[in-house]
Structure formats: structure tokens, C-alpha cells
Structure 1
């Protein structure tokens, strides 16, 4: 199967600065982010990807005022991400929740994380990355060639948009498979407790309690 192709591959819509007024999500929405780096104190949030699981990816490019945009003034996007009735499906939610809460000044909840779910039920392997999970559970090969590209450029390349979209287009299907495994292994409640802690874990990370971790035994 070719890269980033499969039963969920579909349309990509790019918005600049915010979601349009009329766009609504119900039930759940897959969410991912692209940033200039891994340090939220230094590296800005550049792109937020969303999908309702219908094969369409909605990409919001957050452009700073210095480049002619409105920065993090994105009320429609913030409303979606902070909606307490809308479950946000993420992969490695610890990072995405942290950068979204820091940049946008909101609490991102409720959240489920496919990486946490995979680690709880796929204890027979250390392959818990998104590409590995999509290949193993969905039979989909994702290309990661654009993972370290420049997301801060004002004009994103088609290859970047395709890569960014692939990170959300398969999350609903992946969550469906992992949710069934959590149920089978009687670990759904444990997973839920982990998900509910994620906004607090993100706050601790931002305050510098990531290393050393206050939950570790290290003095």
C-alpha cells in the first residue's frame, strides 16, 4: 500500500489563522499539531490538524502577526479544542495538549490518546509510534518524510499538507481498534484515568516538572 493511502485517505482543506465560523464537530475529533520544535517555551505552534473521521482533514495554519497573520487569535479553533462535550483523539497527547494549552490559553479536555492505549495493551512490543500502529492495526503505511520539515514557512508545500493530514485521518479507526483491545484486556478504566490526568500532566511539564519527574524515584 502506498504511503499515506488507505481506507481513510481523503480531502484536505487548509485554513489560515482560524477555522471558519460554520464548521462544527460532534462526538469526537482527531487532533494533531506541527511546531517549530519540541520546546513550547521557545518553539511556536504552526499548524493544528483536525478530522471528524469522515476522510477529510481540516488544517489550520497559525500565522504570526509579523508574517501578516493573527497569531493565536483563533476563537473558533479554541472553541473546538476546549469543548467539554467533544472528545479529542490524539497520538502522544502529552505533547499536543501541552503545546495547545500553552499557546492558546485553554484547557484541552476530554482527551484520549492512542499511544497510551497502545502501551497499555500492546505489551508484547515496543512499537507504539503512529506509523507502526497504523501499519500493524490498519494495514496503512504512513510516510514520515516531512516530519522534520520547516512548519513555520508562510507557504506550506503539498507534501507537508499531505503528511500533516495523515496524522489525523486514521486516528478514529486506530482508536476504534485500540478501544476494543482495552476492553478485551480489562484496562479501559485504567486508560481513562490516564487520559483525565493529561491536562494536569501538561501543566506540570510546562512548569518544569518534566525532568526530573515528580513521579520518579530519583532524588
Structure 2
């Protein structure tokens, strides 16, 4: 396994021009995401069957050639479990690999669990045991160790023969178009932007709040999201989610209340007064402008029985298709479907996952009949 480390833009341009002549290229990234809102890119791995290169983005000033490769629609990019990689690419280069196929999704269409790791598949298909001990290494530190570099190179070197075997089986079983659809759906979901004014809807525990308290939460959640993005800090490093809900539930207007509730002293010092001002701002909002109370599907008396009915239907579809139930329709996807029927009156412009693409014929239409 011979690889070259790329540290300047001229070398990068040459590598990317050659890679754009290939039909497919293997890609992976190493990044760090501990305290930051955005993942911090540390290394890019690329293998086109001939060139095996490790691209050091911390050393290269101009990454334009790589951005052009990502956007070149004549070259299929292959990655494994690429959800976070997509965020890395979008943040660093303003684009994602197009078109893209994820080998974890390919394996799912062959009966594997949706979260099957790369090392497990390489072991099954190639009889190679990969050392994954460097997966939590600091990829922003320099110099990178030989062990880190070997680990990173292996992730794309073995991805190519794995992809080739998976592709052959997927094509034989007639799943290739579905794999492409699912890979595209992954891109769309991963890059979906939360509107700041709707950030409160995804706050865990928001359902316990009354409408006036939600008016306060809406202000605080929007501020927290924008602050996190501006400072590139993880959301909970601005204000912990549970504390945010507690502030709204008790409509806290003093630092003493926050202190007695056990909030971190640094959090109180940095943002306590700001939170108090936002509580007062929320309290001044007219009742006509309060958000509606958040209702959970599970609070509907009919939910439990209906969910079991739909889950049984998914199990039948799983047995006939050979696909894992969680892959066909996860709990989240079933809830999305129920919400679409109950709350959105089957709006054709807001179709749930199970009523789109390959899922619709295999399981979606049957689920829809159950709720007719």
C-alpha cells in the first residue's frame, strides 16, 4: 500500500486532473468535532485505482482543484458511512461529492444492518482485519504519525475492492437504482439547514412547555443557534439544552435562580444576563403570537396501537424483500409517515420517506392502505 502525501496546490491539481479521468474515485476524510459547531477537516484520502494520496488541507492554500473534482458529475465518488463527511465537504468547499454512492447503504440493500462498519465489511468481503485504533486520533495535530497515515490510507485502499464486490451483488439483485436514490436522500437530509426561527422545535423536552414559555424558547433557541454558528462552537457549549428548557419553564429572571438550579458558573457568567433579557422579551410577546403547544404523536391515544400495526406491516415487507426492518422504515420514518397523515393531510408536497422512491412500492403503499 504505497501512498503519497500532497502538501501543495500544484501537486493537488495534478492528482485531481488524473482522478477526473477515472469513472469512480474512493474518498474519505479525517476530522475533529469535539467543541466546534462545524467539523474541522484534518485530512482527505483519495484513491482512483492508480493514485493513492493523502491530501493535507492544513498545508494547501488553494483547494480549488479538489472542489472541481467533487463537483465533476462524470466521476462517481464512493464513500462509506459518509453522513459527517458530507458536512465536512460542504463546510470546507461549499459543495458535496456529486454523484455519490455510500457503501454502507449498498451493504444495507444486501441484508446488512444499516450501521455496519467499514472494518466489518472489509473483513467479510476481503478477509482483511483493519486496525481501527486511530479512529479517535487528533487529525489536526502535526506531524501525523506513520500509524495515522497508514490507517487513513487503508480506508480508501480497501474501499475500492469492497465497492467492486458490493456493486456486482447490488446489480445482480436489481438494487442499484435504489442505492443511488438512497445515497441522494442521505445528501439531502444531511445538508438540510435548520431555520433559526424553527430551532426551538428540535429542542429536546420542548413539548413540556406552555405556549408562552415556548415563545421564550423560540427566542433563546434562535439566539443559541446563531451564536454557535458565528463562534463555531457546539450548541451545548453556548447553553446546555436542558438548562435552556429550565430557564423557559421557570421563566427565570435572576442569576440567583440559575445558580440554585445548578447551572454551570461559566454559563451563568457568560450568558446569564442575556438569557434574562430574552426571558423578559418573550414575556412581552402578545398571546396571539405565542407558538402552538408542541404535541407528541405518542400522546395520541390511537398512536400505540397504530404504530404496532404499521411495524407489523414493515416486518412483512422485510421478510419478502430481505431488507432489515430498520432500513425499510425506522421508528423515525414511521413517525414521519404518521405525522404526514394526521397533521399534514397527506400533503403531496411534503411526502415522507416511505412514500418516495424505492420504499413506496415495497412498503409505503401498504402502510398507506393501513391508514385509509
Bucket of the pairwise TM-score, normalised by the shorter protein: 0.7 to 0.9
Q: Kindly report which structure 2 residues correspond to 1:10-29, keeping only aligned pairs within 5 A, or say none.
A: 10-16=1-7, 18=9, 19-23=11-15, 24-25=18-19, 26-29=22-25
Of 63, 67, 71, 1:74 maps to 63
Q: Give the deviation of 1:42 after TM superposition.
A: 3.6
Q: 1:187 maps to what in 2?
A: 175
Which whole-Å deviations, capped at 9, do the CAs of 1:88-136 have from their partners, x for residues lacking one?
Answer: 010012221221112211232100110001111124x577210000000
Of 124, 133, 141, 2:129 maps to 141
Q: Kindly report which structure 2 residues correspond to 1:102-141, keeping only aligned pairs within 5 A, or say none.
A: 102-123=91-112, 128-141=116-129
Q: 1:61 maps to what in 2?
A: 56
Q: 1:31 maps to what in 2?
A: 27
Q: Kindly report which structure 2 residues correspond to 1:134-173, keeping only aligned pairs within 5 A, or say none.
A: 134-173=122-161
Q: Which has the higher contact order (CA 8 A, sep 6+)?
A: 1
Quick check: 1:44 aligned with 2:33?
Answer: no
- Return the alpha-carbon distance in structure 1 between the equivalents of residues 131 and 91 of structure 2: 29
- Return the alpha-carbon distance in structure 1 between the equivalents of residues 131 and 92 of structure 2: 28
- Return the alpha-carbon distance in structure 2 between the equivalents of residues 112 and 174 of structure 1: 13
1:207–1:104 distance in 2 versus 1, CA, 3 Å: farther
Q: 1:6 maps to what in 2?
A: none
- Judging by fraction of residues, say which structure has more helix: 2
SS class of match (1:21): helix
From the CA coordinates, give the structure whose radius of gyration is larger.
2
SS class of match (1:162): helix
Which whole-Å deviations, capped at 9, do the CAs of 1:25-65 have from their partners, x for residues lacking one?
Answer: 121110000001278734311111000123x42111111xx
Aligned CA-pair RMSD = 2.7
Tell me if structure 2 keeps the 8 A contact 1:118–1:178: yes
Q: 1:217 maps to what in 2?
A: 335
- Return the alpha-carbon distance in structure 1 between the equivalents of residues 79 and 34 of structure 2: 17
1:126–1:194 distance in 2 versus 1, CA, 3 Å: closer
Which is further off, 102-111 or 143-152? 102-111
Tell me if structure 2 keeps the 8 A contact 1:143–1:163: yes
Tell me if structure 1 keeps the 8 A contact 2:104–2:114: no
Tell me if structure 2 keeps the 8 A contact 1:127–1:133: no
- Return the alpha-carbon distance in structure 1 between the equivalents of residues 8 and 87 of structure 2: 20
Q: Give the deviation of 1:84 after TM superposition.
A: 1.1
- Return the alpha-carbon distance in structure 2 between the equivalents of residues 207 and 40 of structure 1: 17
